[in-house]
């Protein structure tokens, strides 16, 4: 004889699918039904140069991180500050080394991100045989 130790109210939610249906309906009523659903890849990537003759790349234009890190806005703001400071120093001194230092920092930050990325996905071995997980583990 099997006995469930789960609270009966919780079991009712699980058994009937009531909660999932309710959530689905709430989202549909709030967002509407899309005419067409588009999926796009959002891989981790970095430019080979984030500083050019007359330009600087900042935020996701310089380097994009896995969305699981939730780093996009913070990284963009931080790189905006760093690039502004580097540009100010360059305009004051005329030395391109100031811009190179910004690029070096973007590369160093991306390297640190790759290490964190590897730790994050490596910490969960249950999905190591899944394509999604394998692609992310191959990144670093």
Averaged confidence pLDDT in the chain:
82
For residue 32, tell me if it sits in a domain. Answer: no
For residue 37, tell me if it sits in a domain. Answer: no
Q: Which domain holds residue 54?
A: 45-139
Query: Domain of 69: which CATH number?
Result: 3.50.50.60
For residue 134, tell me if it sits in a domain. Answer: yes
For residue 60, tell me if it sits in a domain. Answer: yes
For residue 97, tell me if it sits in a domain. Answer: yes
- Angle, helices 18-31 vs 8-16, to 10°: value is 60
For residue 124, how many other CB atoms are within 10 A of its CB? 9
For residue 18, tell me if it sits in a domain. Answer: no
- Angle, helices 97-122 vs 131-139, to 10°: value is 140
The pTM score is: 0.68
For residue 16, tell me if it sits in a domain. Answer: no
Query: Structural domain tally of the chain?
Result: 1
Residues 9-67 pLDDT 10s? 555 555 567 777 777 777 777 776 667 777 777 788 999 999 998 899 999 999 999 88
For residue 82, tell me if it sits in a domain. Answer: yes
């Amino acid at each position: 004889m099997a006995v469930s130790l789960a609270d009966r109210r919780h079991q009712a939610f699980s058994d009937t699918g009531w909660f999932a249906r309710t959530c689905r309906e709430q989202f549909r009523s709030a967002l509407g039904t899309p005419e067409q659903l588009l999926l796009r890849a959002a891989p981790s990537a970095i430019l080979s140069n984030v500083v050019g003759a007359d330009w600087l790349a900042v935020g996701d234009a310089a380097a994009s991180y896995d969305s699981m890190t939730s780093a996009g806005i913070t990284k963009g703001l931080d790189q905006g500050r760093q690039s502004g400071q580097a540009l100010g120093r360059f305009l004051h001194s005329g030395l391109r080394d100031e811009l190179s230092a910004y690029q070096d920092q973007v590369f160093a930050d991306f390297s640190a991100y790759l290490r964190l990325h590897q730790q994050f996905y490596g910490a969960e071995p249950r999905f190591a045989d899944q394509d999604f997980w394998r692609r992310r583990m191959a990144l670093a």
